[in-house]
Structure 1
Amino acid sequence: MANTPQSKKRARQNERRLAVNKARRSRIRTYLRSVEEAIASGDKEAAQNALRAAQPELMRGVTKGVFHKNTAARKISRLAARVKALG
C-alpha cells in the first residue's frame, strides 16, 4: 500500500492512465475486429475500407504508448497481406 504522498499520487495517476489505456486498447481492438470480419466475409472492398480506418487508430495507439511500434507495424502488415490476398 502507498504510504508517502508521492506514492499515493502515483497510485492515483496509475489508475487514471489504466482506464485511459484500457479504453484506447479496446477501441483499437474493435477496429481490428472489423477488418477481421470483413476478411472473413470475403468482401475485399469492405476489408480495404476497414483496414484504412484501422491503420491510423493503431498508429495513434503507438504514439500514446499503448502498443510498441513494431507490434503495430506487424499487425498492419499481416492484415494488409490478408486483404490483398482476397478476391
Structure 2
Amino acid sequence: MSDQRQDIQQLSFEAALKRLEEIVRKLESGETSLDESIELYAEGDRLKQQCEARLQAAQAKIEKIQFGRDGQPAGTAPFDGD
C-alpha cells in the first residue's frame, strides 16, 4: 500500500483528479464488488487528500496585487480566498 501512496504523490493535480473522477464513476455504477468498492474508496480518499494538499500549496503561492491611490500597482499582499 505504501507503493500506491508513493504513486499518488507523484501524480500531477490533473492526473489525480482524473483518477478520482474515474473512481467516482465506478462506485456510482454499482458494478463493483464490496471489496473492490472499499479499495476504490480508500484510493479515492488518498487522491482527494493529495488534490487538497496541492490546491492549498498553490493558494499559498498566489499573491494579490495591491493598487495605490493612483490606480497603479503598488505591491502585493497574501491572497485571501474569502
TM-score bracket for the superposition, by shorter chain length: 0.3 to 0.5
TM-score for the superposition, normalised by structure 1: 0.39
Between 1 and 2, higher relative CO (CA 8 Å, sep ≥ 6) is seen in 1
Who wins on radius of gyration, i.e. which is larger?
2
TM-score for the superposition, normalised by structure 2: 0.41
